[in-house]
Amino acid sequence: MKLVKIHNSSTLDFYSADVSAELALPLASSEIAAGFPSPADDHLELKLDLNRALVRHPNATFYGRVKGYSMVDAGIGEGDLLVIDKSLEPKEGDIAVCFLDGEFTVKRIGRQDGGLCLLPANEGFEPIPVTGESDFQVWGVVTYVIHKTR
Q: CA nearest 64: which of 149, 140, 120, 127?
A: 140
Active site residue 107: yes
H-type helices in the chain, by residue range? 50-54
**Catalytic site residue from 5, 29, 67, 70:** 70
Q: Give the C-alpha distances (Å, rounded to integers) separating 94 from 22, 43, 146.
A: 29, 37, 17
**Catalytic site residue from 29, 91, 107, 148:** 107
Active site residue 70: yes
Residues designated catalytic: 70, 107
